[in-house]
Amino acid sequence: MKKWRSYHSGVADDIYDAIVIGSGIGGLCAAALLGLRGKRVLVLEKHFKIGGWTHTFKRKDYEWDVGIHYIGQVNRANSPIRRLFDIISDGQLQWSPMDDNYDRIIFPDRSYDLVAPRERFVEDMISYFPKEESAILSYMDLLDAVAKSSRPYFSQKALSGMFDTISYPFMTRKFFKYSDRTTMDVLSSLTNDQRLIGVLTGQWGDHGLPPSKSSFAMHAFVARHYLDGGNYPTGTSRRIAETISDLIEKNDGSLFVNASVSSIKTHNGKAIGVEMENGDIIEARSIISNAGVFNTLDKLLGDDNARSDHLDQLKTIQQTKSYACLHLGLDRSAEDLGIKNTNLWIYPDYDHDRLVQDYIDDPSSDFPVVYVSFPSAKDESWNKKHPDKATMEAITLSRCSWYDKWEHLEWKKRGAEYENGKDELSKRILDVVSKQVSGLEKHIDYQELSTPLTVRDLANYQRGEMYGIDHSPQRFRQRWLRPQSSIGDLYFVGQDVTTVGVSSALFSGLLTASAVLGQDLSSILKD
């Protein structure tokens, strides 16, 4: 496991071309690409580990990821996402393929397997719903249409000046045909079968909004992403940050943890540097924020005038729902326990929107979803490092407001009432999971529950949210969500710029590096 360097005041004495605030995958990608172009980059991470949602944590003999559960398309050597990962990791990042059955959508009456490749997915869907063949084929065509129309939409985000103004209507029009409609609206136009809609939207937790709230474009991105199967980083998800940081350092870049930025310094409408929590000032030609748009505009902009200009922008978007995650360590290997690497999506009903609303109104009602991942079963190298051990994660919806009474207390110091509440929630989650994973409870060696407050403290999301901002139809209309902010030399990077998930955040790094350099870097994916 790589050791990270802690920030010290001597860092401020050096000269940098760019400073990246936060070390999520978008920021790491941008830093790596700028380094490959001869720019000296400084990455500052508030946490004690580099990686954002790609880092892991250890307890006893176990290790869990905090955000990555599977990634699509990296199994194809020439896919754009695999090509980009190979470039910024210097070819050192390896992938473990999941079984063809990457997701299982489970309802009380039966379960439905999502199986790769694409042809098998279609065949199985038709076998489940033989009367809906036409709707299913039309649905697949729509997934492709969204992907095709999205390329100019996202490419346009890296443009600036007059070319941006002229090209915007033409590069976005086709995409808006899909992004302006909700997932439920589109699917209801294809079929009246509510069970089919419930199955096709069974991965809604991968982007955080149920069908009536989410943009169909967001749904399409997720659904299409896994049609060739799922994959997991060999050596756990921390290998993503470790390999990319190696390349950054190889190109004279630097990364520091325990490096809390208190504000972004501006002068004459331009970002000129950052102020650290200890008062150090570090200057650079470009400032790139991987802290999310809410943190950046509401918390980090030290210039009150600059910040006030952006508060209206924040009113046009909304943070995603928060979540709770139960981490389990098991005293047998996944193979001994008969655990496969298929993800489980467990639902009490097909109506996702109603379930979400019922749970928000009354947290004692059924969980709207419990998502179960088995990271140790996905990692080909796990058994060499952790023999006779296995891990599991179970995630469900939550709300930060349910924990308001403890929000001012420190992590691990929130008292008995808070811990008892966590125990009760853990038992409820286990009750759901145990019905699908036989013999689970008698092999639990360790368990730990994270709440929205945990996420807030360790991932720096203000409300413990899953995916930054909601990907509703309105979100895609926010033209200001792009790499170049309205403040000169201040750039955004991360999933707020593109969409949710590791792959989208990864490509935000490509877009932001392109904007900083003033050149289109997408050609590197075609070499």
Q: CA-CA distances (angstroms) from residue 517 to 183, 306, 319, 489, 508? A: 36, 24, 30, 11, 14
Other CB atoms closer than 10 Å to residue 259's CB: what's the count? Answer: 28
Note the pLDDT tens digit of each residue in 385-430: 999 999 999 999 998 889 999 989 888 889 999 999 999 999 999 9
Greater pLDDT, 78 or 457: 78
* pLDDT surpassing 80 at residue 463: no
pLDDT at 65: 87
Distance in angstroms (rounded) separating the CA atoms of residues 369 and 391: 20
Cα radius of gyration rounded to whole Å, the chain:
22
Question: Predicted confidence band at 26 (pLDDT cuts at 50, 70, 90)?
Answer: very high
Question: Predicted confidence band at 303 (pLDDT cuts at 50, 70, 90)?
Answer: low
Question: Predicted confidence band at 312 (pLDDT cuts at 50, 70, 90)?
Answer: confident
Q: What is the mean pLDDT of the chain?
A: 93
pLDDT at 8: 97
pLDDT at 443: 96
Note the pLDDT tens digit of each residue in 325-355: 999 999 999 999 999 999 999 999 999 999 9
Instruction: Identify the sign of the CA torsion 471, 397, 298, 9.
Output: negative
Determine if residue 325 is left, alpha or beta; phi over 0 gives left, psi from -120 to 50 gives alpha, anything else beta.
Answer: beta
497's tokens: 């710029």
pLDDT at 147: 96
* HEC sequence for 460-491: CCCCCECCCECCCCCHHHCCCCCCECCCECEE
- How far is the first Cα of the chain from the last one, in angstroms, to the nearest whole number? 32
Those residues with Cβ within 8 angstroms of residue 48's Cβ, 6 or more apart along the chain or in another chain:
4, 6, 257, 258
Domain ranges (residues) in the chain: 9-60+234-317+471-525, 125-227, 321-459
pLDDT at 71: 95
Distance in angstroms (rounded) separating the CA atoms of residues 230 and 378: 9
**323 bridge partner residues:** 397
Note the pLDDT tens digit of each residue in 350-360: 999 999 999 99
pLDDT at 305: 60
Mean pLDDT of 42-55: 91
Note the pLDDT tens digit of each residue in 175-231: 999 999 999 999 999 999 999 999 999 999 999 999 999 999 999 999 999 999 999
pLDDT at 249: 98
Question: Predicted confidence band at 302 (pLDDT cuts at 50, 70, 90)?
Answer: low
* pLDDT surpassing 70 at residue 381: yes
Pick from 436, 503, 505, 511: which is nearest to 79 by CA? 503
CA within 13 Å, CB half, 475:
25
* pLDDT surpassing 80 at residue 299: yes
pLDDT at 455: 81
pLDDT at 304: 64
pLDDT at 264: 95
* pLDDT surpassing 90 at residue 319: no
The CATH code for residues 9-60+234-317+471-525 is 3.50.50.60
Note the pLDDT tens digit of each residue in 74-86: 999 899 999 999 9
Note the pLDDT tens digit of each residue in 149-171: 999 999 999 887 777 778 888 89
- Cβ pair 49, 2 in contact under 8 A: no
pLDDT at 527: 59
pLDDT at 164: 74
The alpha carbon of 279 is separated from its chain's Cα centroid by a whole number of angstroms, namely 31
- What share of the chain has pLDDT > 90, as a percent? 82
DSSP assignment of 387-407: TT-EEEEEEEEE-GGGGGGGT
344's tokens: 């489980």
pLDDT at 306: 63
Note the pLDDT tens digit of each residue in 230-258: 999 999 999 999 999 999 999 999 999 99
Least confident among 25-34, 48-57, 70-79: 48-57
pTM: 0.94
pLDDT at 477: 95
Question: Predicted confidence band at 53 (pLDDT cuts at 50, 70, 90)?
Answer: confident
Question: Predicted confidence band at 307 (pLDDT cuts at 50, 70, 90)?
Answer: low
* pLDDT surpassing 90 at residue 55: no
Note the pLDDT tens digit of each residue in 260-281: 999 999 999 899 999 999 999 9
DSSP assignment of 194-256: HHHHHHHTTTGGGTT--TTTSBHHHHHHHHHHTTT-EEEETT-THHHHHHHHHHHHHTT-EEE
